[in-house]
Structure 1
Amino acid sequence: MLTFLAGLGFGLSLIVAIGAQNAFVLRQGVRREHVGVVVAICAASDAVLIAAGVGGLGALVQRAPTVVEVARWAGAAVVLGYGFLAARRAWKGSEQLVAAPAGAMPDAGRRLRPAVLTALALTWLNPHVYLDTVVLLGSISSTYGDARWWFGAGAVLASILWFSGIGYGGRLLAPLLARPGAWRVLDAVIAVIMLAVAVSLLTAR
């Protein structure tokens, strides 16, 4: 149980920092668009990566710097693209940015594919995700010996709790974002976050 709780705490410490993936999940939660699918993709992806790290894949990743380098540039491109779209929304504004009212059918008329592809891209093309889950978490878990899978299970639970929290809890911000002007501010913040993440990826060595 102590090992499980250690994994839970360590997993939360890695994932809570606001990044490109978290910003996207939060925005989907506030708009109530395909929240369940997006949360499931992010949490399931983390579970796969954590299992790979606990299973020892982290050591192999460290020996293949070319893979990390390609992922770094691809991830920066994806994050910059999403940041550009957020900046454009913040600049132009749109009536479509109004939060969905309670009880509405937010998924009606919305396309699922863009949300799925964005969630996948911001997860699997982000080198920080690999470094945190596969390399760092995998290395820490190895210190627990045979109990390392309990450590990994705790980290997986942390991911599920966090993404569910910001995804489904995002709707609580809807009253604050009932006006398009508020959405422009949120998108401006998201654009800045995306830019900072992209710069960190391009300058990482």
Structure 2
Amino acid sequence: MLPFFPGLLTGLSLIVAIGAQNAFVLRQGLTGRHVPPVILTCIAVDVTLILVGVAGIGTIAERAPLVLDLLRWGGVAYLTWFAVRSFRAAASPTGLDAGRASSAGRRSVISATLAVSLLNPHVYLDTMVMLGTIANQHGPVGRWAFAAGACVASVSWFTALGLGARKLSGRLSRPSTWRWIDASIGVVMLGLAAMLALGG
């Protein structure tokens, strides 16, 4: 189960970065309106994309190994860019602005959650291609332990953010908090890039 821990760390590193989805979950959590459905929707989308990505990249690896090698080097470039972006964000940190939470009904809130989760093209690159590529470096069996770690990261983060929003909002609004978060993400991304480059 050793690949579980890299999966957990990678999943958290990709998901914690400031984005529309996190801001939306935080906004809903601050008012306590429809929080469980929002959390469950985000988790369902994330876990589905992770599993599809790992399975899909695994199939490609078995049928067209050259494509996996191209994805690996593309992943090195992407992770390096992600690290640079994180270090730049750490140099000029901003807080996570919760804004004003929606007062819409449950169905509308779930629709909005799906929109912020699925209409961002980066979610497919991060969750499906990137996690799938890294997971498959651990072999046919290890990739699923890696995927399990990434899924646990998703469940843990969205649950903590949604249910702990009122307590977390003060800290997440501080630029100093995000300076450390972004710097840490940058270090992790560089480490993952090195791991991919070495084929490990």
- TM bucket normalised to smaller: 0.5 to 0.7
**Given that residues 25 and 39 in structure 1 are in contact (C-alpha distance below 8 angstroms), is that contact kept between their aligned partners in structure 2?**
yes
**Given that residues 4 and 153 in structure 1 are in contact (C-alpha distance below 8 angstroms), is that contact kept between their aligned partners in structure 2?**
yes
Tell me what 1:154 maps to. Answer: 149
**Hey, what's the Cα distance between the residues in 2 that align with 1:140 and 1:133?**
11
**Hey, what's the Cα distance between the residues in 1 that align with 2:57 and 2:120?**
17
- Cα root mean square deviation, aligned: 2.8
The runs of at least 4 consecutive aligned structure 1 residues that moved more than 4 Å come to 57-60
**Hey, what's the Cα distance between the residues in 2 that align with 1:161 and 1:172?**
16
**Given that residues 8 and 149 in structure 2 are in contact (C-alpha distance below 8 angstroms), is that contact kept between their aligned partners in structure 1?**
yes
Tell me what 1:24 maps to. Answer: 24
**Hey, what's the Cα distance between the residues in 1 that align with 2:47 and 2:145?**
13
Question: In terms of mean alpha carbon deviation, does 48-57 or 33-42 score higher?
Answer: 48-57
**Hey, what's the Cα distance between the residues in 2 that align with 1:160 and 1:135?**
20
1:192-203 pair list within 5 angstroms:
none
Bigger CA radius of gyration: 1
CA offset at residue 147 of structure 1?
1.0
Q: Which blocks of at least 5 consecutive residues in structure 1 are unaligned?
A: 64-89, 91-96, 100-108, 177-205
Secondary structure at the aligned position of 2:164 is classed as helix
Q: Which blocks of at least 5 consecutive residues in structure 2 are unaligned?
A: 61-66, 72-98, 171-200
CA offset at residue 171 of structure 1?
2.4
Tell me what 1:78 maps to. Answer: none
**Given that residues 21 and 119 in structure 1 are in contact (C-alpha distance below 8 angstroms), is that contact kept between their aligned partners in structure 2?**
yes
Aligned residues: 134
Tell me what 2:48 maps to. Answer: 48
* TM-score normalised per structure 1: 0.59
* TM-score normalised per structure 2: 0.61
- The one-letter amino acid paired with 2:33 is E
Q: Percent identity?
A: 52
**Given that residues 30 and 173 in structure 1 are in contact (C-alpha distance below 8 angstroms), is that contact kept between their aligned partners in structure 2?**
no
**Given that residues 141 and 151 in structure 1 are in contact (C-alpha distance below 8 angstroms), is that contact kept between their aligned partners in structure 2?**
yes
**Hey, what's the Cα distance between the residues in 1 that align with 2:168 and 2:10?**
27
